[in-house]
Amino acid sequence: MFCNTSKEIGGMGHSLKRKEDARFTQGKGHYVDDVKLPGMLYMDIVRSPYAYAKILNIDASKALEIPGVLAVITGRDLEKYNLHWMPTLMSDTQMVLPTDTVMYYAQEVCAVIATERYIAADGVAAVEVEYEPMKAIVDAHKALDPGMPVLRPDKGKTDNHIWHWEAGDREATDKLFANAEVVVKEQVYIPRIHVASIETCGCVADFDPVEAHLTMYMTTQAPHAIRTVIALVAGHVGLSEEKVRVIASDIGGGFGGKVPVYPGYVIAIAASVLIGKPVKWIEDRMENLQADSFARDYDMTCELAATKDGKIQGLRIKTLADHGYTDAAANPSKYPAGMFSICTGSYDYGVAFTEMDAVYTNKPPGGVAYRCSFRVTEAVHAIERMVDRLALEIGKDSAQLRMENFIKKEQFPYHSPLGWEYDSGDYGPALQMAMDIVGYDELRKEQAEKRKNGQLMGIGICSFTEVVGAGPSKDFDILGIKMFDSAEIRVHPTGKAIARFGTKSQGQGHETTYAQIIAQELGIPAEHIHIEEGDTDTAPYGLGTYASRSTPTAGAAAAVAARKLRDKARKIAAYLLEVSEEDLEWEVGKFFVKGAPEKSKTIQELVFASYTNHPQGMEAGFEATHYYDPPNLTFPFGSYICVVDIDPETGSIKIRRFVAIDDCGNIINPMIVQGQIHGGLTQGLAPAMFEELIYDEDGNMLNGSFMDYLVPTAVESPSWETGHTITPCPHHPIGAKGVGESPTVGAPPAIANAIIDALSHLGVTHIDIPITPQKVWNILVEKGVIEAV
């Protein structure tokens, strides 16, 4: 591991305890619901009980009779200001509040503004809405059937098709598949899930009518982008960008769910502007699960072609994507299917083709990540399931099949058939390390023995490659804004620093890790570098924290900005020591004269001199800013092995062991990286075995609360075993890659492959996630292992 600073300086490679934790462990975190302003009002939202209905009438009279209820805001009210619709990030449009029709269960219908939280809720209960329900489109497969209602005639649509997207060489792929020795095929569905951060979404919109200034306290992973969006959406009613300040203080988990602009935010702003007082809106858990952006919902027809001895030759995937009633996915503009084209995975083969059709249904909009970089989870699930499927088909060990087909270390940078340039990788050692730790060969022997006795045990592997850190400006933008990110470092005369960033931590520990990057580069102890994010009035512009982009973009910006400062320090040192710059050598924390190490100046002395005794002609002070435009994305990878035991009588699944070997390049803080891996693994376990948003045929969500949307507890989560290999990123200033999402991407196929492996001798080739005991039990009954009662 790269670590060449002292513990006191605390640069790269030190497991520094987190600076954040003092406040979090003492109840002094400052989350949005903790904001309390004089005269603040509360907003609560009336939501639709139907998935698709005409609104015939909204009668707010009884609500307005309740003492303390000040206003009920409807779509008709917003229409007067042309604020009833807003653009989505994917060039679609989304209702803020409906004027005529509701498009999904739990959609916002109108909002009650009151003096107290409980009174606002009373007001919601008293609003009477008359609906005319219509037959909802729930099944994406039926959305394009003739005779189906057209959900978005306002978009000029004549059917419910949103877009078609494809990548790769269709003709060459079809030709390969027509002549392949072996073709395996599975229908792989990844259902809707929800990030369910423990803090829900919310805001306090504080409009000052005298200054025409809006301060927006909110749970957002991308405060700067939100400020610009507010100015774009509401500029015509006077919200000018210099008078919009977005403040994201502590955030209780994001995972992608706090990237979008939800209608509640816009309604709260409108209410504050109309009434001239601060308005707080905090969604409850049911609103959060039922109406906020979902993740996944891809139905993939996956095919893999190979020789009969197991050389993978080609991949073909056709996907149907259910986007709900509007495409409000949070993707870079040119990537409607995110980075799904990473689906060729960690393997070296010639051709691939993938195509996707997106459709409208009467479900909430979205397509946000669930702790993954823009659809990478779906892509990795597809390829890693199919590699196991191929192993089963040709009777080859799935680890050996992977080893034989991996892209070799010397092939990097590797150009994938779907257009990515993988920056660096060394896949074999990671898988071998996982196999050694778990005792792979012994487990296979044990499995063979157990099968003879009717016992069910499975071993599942996933060797994933991710694509994270969006991204290079030539390809990546959101609403036209390029996906660079930024760092600004100011070092005070006494050698202590403050640094600000365009990203926004939601638990990733930026206050600690960014300080370590700067400590590494300047030799100022990390404990004396204060990190700030989330206030758009003070931080430099950036597109925020998601898609594992903070280290690849803002982390890089910190290193480059620090190096600018080091260059300045060198000039000052040359001046003070009366030597030329070339005669100076840097050792973490000081410059010394080559061959005369006793002649030196510490970084603290040089910083002090920049304020007190800087060379004539040099700009005073010690500050630098950098906007980092990454030359490429980063491609972290890893190999995971899961071992499961299944009760042949009940179908219950026990994860016996889970070994995760990750490679995210150089590591800034091993403790924090390991923590990210643990957390991501549990968020990978969740969709693999527990989580799914379930709708009935009328479009009602059946499990929209924590009573029945099963977030894993400490009991379901196994004791994760982790390890790492290190293959530095060749284009990142400190050789690091993103890491927070690797485990969420890698765990589901490892778990699914293990469970399917346990049942494969019964003829089972695939089971869709979440794989529940019920699904396994049904299979055991179907296969005659147990008798149905």
Partner 1 sequence: MANITVHINGVPQTLDVEPRLLLVHLIRENLNLTGTHVGCDTSSCGACTVLMDGRSVKSCTVYAVQANGKEVTTIEGLAHAGQLHPLQEGFKEEHGLQCGFCTPGMIMRCVDLLERNPNPTEEEIRWGISGNLCRCTGYNNIVKAVEYAAQKMQAAEVPAETVA
Q: How far apart are CA 326 and CA 152, in angstroms?
A: 8
| Dihedrals phi, psi of 168, to nearest 5 degrees | 100, -170
The tokens describing 694, both together, are: 């379930």
For partner 1, the binding residue among 101, 197, 215, 548 (CB under 8 A) is: 197
39 binds partner 1 (CB under 8 A): no
Nearest approach in angstroms of CB 252 to partner 1 is 3
Of the residues 47, 107, 186, 221, only one is catalytic, namely 221
- From residue 676 to residue 705, the character string flagging contacts with partner 1 as x (rule: CB under 8 A) and all else as - is xxxxxxxx---------------------x
Q: Is 634 in the site for partner 1 (CB under 8 A)?
A: no
Nearer to partner 1, 24 or 415 (CB): 24
Among 61, 91, 118, 774, the residue binding partner 1 under the rule CB under 8 A is: 118
Taking residues 437 to 456 in sequence order and writing x for each that binds partner 1 by CB under 8 A, - otherwise, the string is --------------------
Copy the structure tokens of residue 139: 């099944």
CB-CB neighbours of 408 under 10 Å? 12
Q: Is 371 a catalytic residue?
A: yes
* Options 371, 385, 500, 549, the catalytic residue: 371
User: Where would I find the beta strands (DSSP E) of 708-752?
Assistant: 721-724
Check if 290 is active-site.
Answer: no
**In which element (H, E) is residue 742 found?**
helix 742-759
Rounded least distance, CB 307 to partner 1, Å: 40
Residue 484, token pair as written in the block: 């660079």
How do beta strands 414-415 and 421-422 pair?
Answer: antiparallel
Taking the complex as a whole, the smallest distance from the CB of residue 221 to partner 1 amounts, in Å, to: 12
Q: Which of residues 252-271 bind partner 1 (CB under 8 A)?
A: 252-253, 255
Q: Kindly give the residue spans of alpha helices, DSSP state H, lying in 134-169.
A: none
Q: How far is CA 487 from the centre of its chain?
A: 21
Closest CA to 768 of 185, 191, 184: 191
Residue 241 DSSP code: G
> Is there binding between residue 720 and partner 1 (CB under 8 A)?
yes
Whose Cβ is closer to partner 1: residue 48's or residue 505's? 505
- Find the shortest distance in angstroms from Cβ 20 to partner 1: 7
Task: Establish if 189 lies at the interface with partner 1 (CB under 8 A).
Answer: no
**Helices (runs of H) and strands (runs of E) counted in the chain:** 18, 33
Active site residue 372: yes
Given 201, 302, 343, 372, the catalytic residue: 372
Q: Is 302 a catalytic residue?
A: no
Q: According to CB under 8 A, which one of 22, 212, 237, 702 is a site residue for partner 1? A: 22
Task: Choose which of 3, 6, 31, 772 interacts with partner 1 (CB under 8 A).
Answer: 31
**Which residues, numbered 649-678, are part of the site for partner 1 (CB under 8 A)?**
671-672, 674-678
Residue type (1 letter), 220: T
Determine the Cα–Cα distance for residues 527 and 191; give it in Å rounded to an integer.
44
**Backbone φ, ψ for residue 344 (5° rounding):** -75, -15
DSSP assignment letter at 146: T
CB nearer to partner 1: pick between 15 and 772:
15
Strand partners, 108: 47
Q: How many residues does the chain have?
A: 789
Binding flag, residue 715, partner 1 (CB under 8 A): yes
- 72: which residues sit within 8 A by CB, 6+ positions away? 58, 60, 63, 64, 110, 111, 112, 113, 123, 127
Strands 279-282 and 41-47: parallel
In the list 509, 589, 630, 770, the residue contacting partner 1 (rule: CB under 8 A) is 509
Tell which positions 198-217 bind partner 1, by CB under 8 A: 198-200
Task: Give the residue numbers marked as catalytic.
Answer: 221, 371-372, 741
Q: Give the footprint of partner 1 on this chain (CB under 8 A).
A: 17-18, 20-31, 33-34, 36, 117-118, 195-200, 250-253, 255, 284-286, 506-509, 671-672, 674-683, 705-707, 711, 713-715, 717, 719-720
